[in-house]
Amino acid sequence: MDTAKLEFLRGTLDVLILKSLVWGPQHGYAITNFILRQSDDTLLVEEGTLYPALWRLESKGLLSAEWGLSENNRKAKFYRLTSEGRRRLRQEIKTWQAYAAAVAKVLAATQLPEPEEAR
Amino acid sequence: MTTTPFWRRYARFFGADPAADVKDELSFHLEAKADDLIRQGMSPEAARKEAERQFGDLRAVERVGQKIGQKTEKRRRIGDYWNDLLHDVRYTFRTLRRDPGFAIVSLLILTLAIGANVAVFSVVNTILLRPLPFPRSNELVWIAPPPSECGWSCATYSADAYEEFSSLSRVYQGVTGYEAFTTPENFRLTGHGEPVPASGMEVIGNFFQVLGVQPALGRLFTPEEARGPVTPNSTGTPVVLLANAYWRRQFQSDPAIVGKAIELNGAPVTVVGVLPESFDYGAVFAPGAKADLFVPLSLDTERMWGNIVTLIGRLKPGVTVSQALDDANRVTPDMYFNVKYPESKGRYKGDLVPMPLKDYVTGKLHRSLIALWLAVGTILLIAGVNLSNLLLARAAARAKEFAMRGALGASRGRIIRQLLMESLVLSGAGAVLGLGLAFAVIRWLAHQGSLALPLLNSLRIDSQAVGWSVLVAILTAMIFGLLPGLRMAGGNLQEVLKDSGAGAGLGRKHERIRAALVISEIALACVLLVSAGLLLRSFSKVLEVDLGFEPDHASSMNVEYDESAPTDEARVMKRTAIFQDVLARVSAIPGVQAAGISDYLPLGPNRSWDTPVPKGKVFAPGELPEPLVYVVSPGFIRAMGIGLQGRDFTWADGPKSEKVIIINASMARRFWPGEDPVNKILMRGDEQDRVVGVVDDVHEESIESSLGAQVYYPCTQQGPSRAQLVVRSSLPPSTLAPTLLRTLRELNPNQPASEFRPIRMIVDHAVSPRRFFMLLVAAFAGLGLVLATLGIYGVISYSVTRQTSEIGVRMALGATAGRVQRGVLANTLRLTGIGIAIGTVMAIIVAKAITSLLFATSPWDFPSYLGMAFALLLVAVASGYIPARRASAINPMQALRNN
């Protein structure tokens, strides 16, 4: 599968970003790496989408940002989940799991269900 | 990312910069990526290129980032601002709670100042600024001749003149008028048990149409009814319109009243409509009076009566008052006083001068109200200065607090904002309380029916008044908050922190400013006190005016009588008999000293008849005035307490005996200068009247106007238009009234329960506008004096506190308590003296400007100035004495040890 071509569903990126910050503040580059590694190199987040998404989340108050030093002593902007962001993440995960389960169920169908009127 | 690095402190030293943030963040990303690629074995150059390639359009992302960043920054700034504001408000409440004395005093000052301002603004707005309560009221004009001496008769027009004017004029949509000679309680409402008096106005049929008044119920008069007579003995259906208040009071808001017949003066009259609540005749045309019902004026029956109607016109759209004047001057030469007499053509030349109705109603009050507005504005200024002073004193005490906050990073702007917030919270609360106060005052004022000010009925606190109070509150906050704020924040923080406070340079500077503030306060109070003094003196001069009659211990009541008879002579006989009977019976009531009847009373409406000339003398036309006419019974002159030379009328002066008159002193001087007028003959056309007595001049229209000629006719020879019984008695009117009414009812069961009005009340009503303004200005002056006292006390008291150690040293070195006290008092008097000197100059300027409001009082009136200086010095000494006592009680040892 060509990783670059995988299109994100609307809102998917947001929940992935929120999830990647669960264990503590991260900078943008680390977030891309996290998503890439965690999805077994399937989901490559492009920079052109990642940063606007981060800024939007920050502006919405789901993330807060602070300047700090990276592992190799470079000045980097670290994002952290706000309590609002944490709440949103929980809610999004629930929605996602329900959605994924529903889609999986439909795709796993082997035959037409019996018509309801018959009963 | 565990510790905040050192450079972070200066990273955004010059404020947030979202654009740089985006650049930094993205360049970090590129570098990190390049690092990873290098670790995978790329050359640094290639790694950087590869990282940039992978990133794509860096510029576009940057642009997006900047846009979002700016938005976020803006939102955060607003959030911060609100947070700070909320914090300021909370902090303000906390500090005010800590100093309740300050909070209460300043709230009190603000409430009084803002309340007075809003109340006066509402009065000014109602009377001066708002248009009259009629649609397109700027089109309405009052048409009257230039002012003259002969009262209402010279300010009104004949029925013929009205008809000619309204048909010849080209500039009006409509011309109307009302009968100017009606007196209160001229109707009797009968058919509901005892007769009840009612005040009715006779108006020309199109009166309400021209004014643009729509009925609340029913309809207005039709053109037929407008022509139709209302007297019971003439044909046609009499109709009446009810005033809203009367309908509610007398008919309990009967919704089905229209079409019903009510009984007026014993005859049925059909109610055709009820007027709207917004229409108050008295409020516009006769301040302090009321009109209960309106009947159409029959021009035909009034035609022979001479000048009886006022003229009110509604100009066509776009016509100016000066165009209307040109048109009137074109019309008047062709107008007749009475079309039956050709020689009366052109008599009204130059006598029809239109003026905006608004000017007629409120013009006389213009200056008084502006003066009142300025007075109340001065109060606000004094209050502002006073609070500024209080805040400065507090600020001095809080200097350390602010210095500490400054040292902890609060900006100068932040501290000013904090101080402004305090004054804004105070003045906001003051505005709310002041609005409440104004509301109470206005409610009370609006129900002062006896106050002869126009439009009081529509007085209310409206959105404009609320807007005004908000404006005033913000303005005050600015005045008194900004100065201390700037002073505080401008101080040298370190110096304050180091210094113990007392004796510091900042303190001395403060004291100079506070002294200047107190001086300006005293000067402003001076102006108010002198103005109030002058108005007070004017008022007392007005009260001292010799009215020409004795208003105390006399009261009047409207007497109903029926003189209907076939011939004039029979009518006179019948009337004479009734009056004689009434006066005999009333005089017999125990406690009654004198009684008499007149058709008009002083200080009310009046009229004149013709222009009599002294027999055997030649005067140029227009040289002699038209005297005001009173038709009185024997005994009236004594009952009113009017001084008389010669003899009074007697019941023997009948229709067949010689015609006799009594004239007033002014008329005697004009008609027979240097001669004794008694027994002289006055000619009215062919009729001869012998002067039998001369009476003192009676103030007819207003106490403040000059006097004209007056002539009294006996009711036994001439027809009075009604009967006002005047009773002189030492008994209080309330005790006398029931007996009197019973006596009158015995003679005439139709006698309504008319009001028994003390003559003093008529006088009070006449002086009520002046009393109103005088009282208000005096109240403001008193308030100004109190505020100035507070200001002086504050400054002196503070300077004593500041000098505690200095005074201690001086006392330790042998200064006596008396010496210390004298020093403090001298300081007080110095400030007051400077204030009075400046204030006197200002007061002279103001007094010159209000000369036209004064009565028989010079703007240089010495006692007013003396009183002002005395009052101010007195309060200065009083308010300086307490701190002086405190200063002399300082224990030198303690004062020195404390430092």
pLDDT tens across B350-390, in order? 788 899 998 888 888 888 888 888 888 888 888 888 888 87
B427: its two tokens: 């003045």
Q: Which residue out of A44, A45, A47 would a mutagenesis test of the B interface target, given it has the greatest number of B Cβ atoms within 10 Å?
A: A47
**Residue B493 pLDDT level (bands cut at 50, 70, 90):** low
Average pLDDT of B423-429? 85
Length of chain A measured in residues: 119
Q: Answer whether B568 touches A (CB < 8 Å).
A: no
Nearest chain B Cα distance for residue A94, angstroms: 29
Asked if A76 and A26 count as a contact pair (C-beta separation under 8 A), the reply is: no
End-to-end CA distance of chain B: 53
The answer to whether B35 contacts A72, with C-beta atoms less than 8 Å apart, is: yes
Interface membership of B23 toward A (CB under 8 Å): no
Decide if pLDDT at B242 tops 70.
yes
pLDDT in tens, B94-106: 888 888 888 888 8
**Nearest-10 Cα torsion for B191, B195, B201, B204:** 30
Token duo for residue B758: 């003390």
Q: Search chain A and give the residue with CA nearest B20.
A: A77
Residue of A nearest to B33 (CA): A29
Q: Chain B: residue nearest A64 by CA?
A: B72
| A72–B68 C-beta distance less than 8 A | no
The tokens describing B279, both together, are 């229409």
Determine the Cα–Cα distance for residues B783 and B111; give it in Å rounded to an integer: 12
Q: What is the pLDDT of residue B147?
A: 73
Which residues lie across from B262 on neighbouring strands?
B269
Do residues B160 and B336 lie in contact, with contact meaning Cβ atoms separated by under 8 Å? yes
Q: Cα–Cα distance between B283 and B292 in angstroms, integer?
A: 13
Task: Tell which B residues from 193 to 212 touch A, by Cβ distance under 8 Å.
Answer: none
Strand order in the sheet with B311-315: B172-176, B311-315, B140-144, B353-356
List beta partners, residue B723. Answer: B559
Return the structure tokens found at A76: 């980097």
Which among A25, A67, A72 has CB closest to B8? A67
Q: Do A55 and B68 touch (CB under 8 A)?
A: yes
At residue B172 the predicted structure's pLDDT band, cuts being 50, 70 and 90, is very high
Distance from CA of A91 to the nearest CA of B (A): 24
Q: Which residues of B touch A74 (CB under 8 A)?
A: 28, 31-32
Amino acid letter at B635?
A: G
Contact A68 B4 (CB under 8 A): yes
Helical (H) or strand (E) element with B864: helix B862-888
Max mean pLDDT range (B150-164, B225-239, B830-844, B884-898)? B830-844
- pLDDT number for residue B339: 77
Cβ <8 Å between A78 and B5: no
Instruction: Look at A55 and B69 and tell me if their CB atoms are within 8 Å.
Output: yes
CA torsion angle for B889, B892, B893, B897 (degrees, to 10)? 110
State the smallest CA–CA distance between residue B87 and chain A in angstroms: 22
Instruction: Flag whether pLDDT at A117 surpasses 60.
Output: no
Q: Which residues contact B295 (CB under 8 A, 6 or more apart)?
A: B200, B201, B202, B203, B230, B238, B239, B240, B241, B269
**Does the distance separating the beta carbons of A58 and B75 come in below 8 Å?**
no
Buried b or exposed e, range B789-803, using 16+ CB within 10 angstroms: bbbbbbbbbbbbbbb
Whether B17 and chain A come into contact, CB under 8 Å, resolves to no
Cβ contact A59–B57 (<8 Å): no
The confidence score (pLDDT) of residue B235 equals: 54
Pairing verdict, β B613-614 and B644-646: unpaired
pLDDT band at residue B523 under the 50/70/90 scheme = very high
Task: Find, among B803, B670, B102, the residue nearest to B386 by Cα.
Answer: B102
Class (C level, CATH) for A3-107: mainly alpha
Q: Which of B472, B534, B580 is nearest to B843 (CA)?
A: B534
Question: Where does B722-854 have alpha helices with state H?
Answer: 733-747, 759-802, 804-812, 817-849
Candidates B367, B366, B384; CA nearest to B524 is B384
Q: Report chain B residues whose CB lies below 8 A from the CB of A62.
A: none
Q: Is the pLDDT of residue B637 over 90?
A: yes
Show the beta-strand stretches assigned E in B404-460.
none
Q: Using CA of residue B373, residue B379, residue B383, residue B389, what is the dihedral sign?
A: positive
CA B427 and chain centroid, separation:
25
CB atoms within 10 A of CB B660: 19
Q: What is the mean pLDDT of residues B139-161?
A: 80
pLDDT higher than 60, residue B3: no
Minimum distance, in Å, between the CA of residue A104 and any CA atom of chain B: 34
Q: Give the residue from B121, B183, B855 showing the smallest Cα distance to B538.
A: B855
Read off the pLDDT of residues B797-841 as tens digits, 9 standing for 90 and up: 877 877 777 888 888 888 888 888 888 889 889 989 999 999 999
Tell me the per-residue pLDDT of B524-558, one tens digit each, with 9 for 90 and over.
999 999 998 998 898 888 888 888 888 899 999 98
Report the gap between the CA of B4 and the closest CA in chain A (Å): 7
Q: What pLDDT shows up at residue B865?
A: 92
- Listed in sequence order, the residues at least 6 apart from B670 whose beta carbon sits closer than 8 Å to its beta carbon are B624, B625, B709
Which pLDDT band, with edges at 50, 70 and 90, does A3 fall under?
very low
Classify B307 in phi/psi space as left (phi over 0), alpha (psi -120 to 50) or beta.
beta
Give the per-residue pLDDT at B496: 55
| Out of B223-227, B492-496, B572-576, B794-798, least confident range | B492-496
CB B152 within 8 A of CB B180: yes
Distance from CA of B3 to the nearest CA of A (A): 8
**Quick check: B893 contacting A, CB < 8 Å?**
no
Indicate whether this complex's ipTM tops 0.85.
no
Which of B29, B50, B66, B75 is most worth mutating to test chain A (most A CB atoms within 10 A of its CB)?
B29
Is B54 within 8 Å of A47 when comparing Cβ atoms? yes
Chain B: residue whose CA lies nearest to A78: B1
What residues of A are in contact with residue B75 (Cβ under 8 Å)? Answer: 59
Contact B25 A28 (CB under 8 A): yes
- Put simply, the answer to whether A59 touches B72 (Cβ < 8 Å) is yes
pTM: 0.72
Chain-chain contact of B31 with A74 (C-beta, under 8 angstroms): yes
Is the confidence at residue B631, as pLDDT, over 80?
Answer: yes
How far, CA to CA in Å, does A54 sit from each of A31, A59, B56, B196, B877? 10, 9, 17, 87, 73
CA B444 distance to own-chain centroid: 13
Q: Which among B244, B241, B285, B290 is positioned nearest to B132, based on CA atoms?
A: B285
Q: In the prediction, which pLDDT does B694 show?
A: 93
CA distance B73 to chain A (A): 9
Least confident segment among A63-67, B417-421, B670-674, B893-897: B893-897
Average pLDDT over residues B519-525: 90
CB–CB contact B68 A27 (8 Å): no
Closest chain B residue to the Cα of A47, Cα to Cα: B55
Secondary structure of residue B848 in the 3-state scheme: helix
Q: What mean pLDDT do residues B314-326 have?
A: 91
Q: Chains A, B: CB contacts under 8 A, how many?
A: 76
Taking contacts as CB-CB distances below 8 angstroms, the residues of chain B near A27 are 25, 28-29, 32
B502 band by pLDDT with thresholds 50, 70 and 90: very low
Q: Which tokens is B828 given? A: 């007080």
Position B503 scores a pLDDT of 45
Angstrom CA distances, B146 to B142, B348, B349, B357, B365, stand at: 12, 11, 11, 15, 18
Which residues from A are below 8 Å from B when comparing CB atoms? 25, 27-29, 46-48, 51-52, 55-56, 58-59, 66-70, 72, 74-78
Q: Cβ of B26 and A55 within 8 Å?
A: no
Residues B248 and B106: their CA atoms lie apart, in Å, by: 45
Distance CA B416, CA A84 (A): 35
Q: What is the spatial distance between Cα A114 and Cα B556, in angstroms, rounded to a whole number? A: 107
Domain extents in chain A: 3-107
Helix/strand/coil for B294: strand
| CA dist., res. B825 & res. B832, Å (int) | 10
pLDDT at B4 > cutoff 70: no
Cβ of B65 under 8 Å from any chain A Cβ?
A: yes
- Closest residue in A to B27 (Cα) is A76
List beta partners, residue B757: B556
Q: Which residue from A minimizes the CA distance to B52?
A: A47
Q: What is the mean pLDDT of chain B?
A: 83
Residue B856 has pLDDT above 70, yes or no: yes
Please give the angle made by the CA atoms of B842, B848 and B853, to the nearest 5 degrees.
120
Q: Are B206 and B174 in contact (CB under 8 A)?
A: yes
Distance between CA atoms of residues B604 and B413, nearest Å:
64
Do B26 and A58 make contact, defined as CB atoms within 8 angstroms? no
A78/B4 Cβ within 8 A: no
List the alpha helices (DSSP H) in B251-320: 281-285, 299-302
Two structure tokens written together for B263 = 């009984």
Check if the beta carbon of residue B535 is closer than 8 Å to that of residue B847: no
- Provide the 3-class DSSP secondary structure of residue B293: strand
Q: What is the C-alpha separation between B727 and B714, in angstroms, rounded? A: 18
Tell me the chain B residues in contact with residue A34 when contact means C-beta distances shorter than 8 Å: none
User: Does the pLDDT at position B6 exceed 70?
Assistant: no
CB contact under 8 Å between B57 and A68, yes or no, is: no
pLDDT, tens digit, for every residue of B743-784? 998 888 888 888 888 988 888 888 888 888 888 888 888 888
Cα–Cα dist B389/B516, whole Å: 10
pLDDT at A1 over 50: no
**pLDDT recorded at residue B648:** 93
Closest residue by Cα to residue B535 from B702, B773, B376: B773
Measured between beta carbons, the chain B residues lying within 8 angstroms of A47 are: 26, 29, 54-56, 61
Question: How many other CB atoms sit within 10 Å of the CB of residue B651?
Answer: 16
Cβ-based burial of B491 (10 A; exposed 0-12, middle 13-18, buried ≥19)? buried
Judged against a pLDDT cut of 50, whether residue A118 lies above it is answered with: no
Mean pLDDT across the stretch B15-36?
Answer: 82
CA distance B859 to B530: 9
Provide the pLDDT confidence category of residue B490 given band limits of 50, 70 and 90.
low
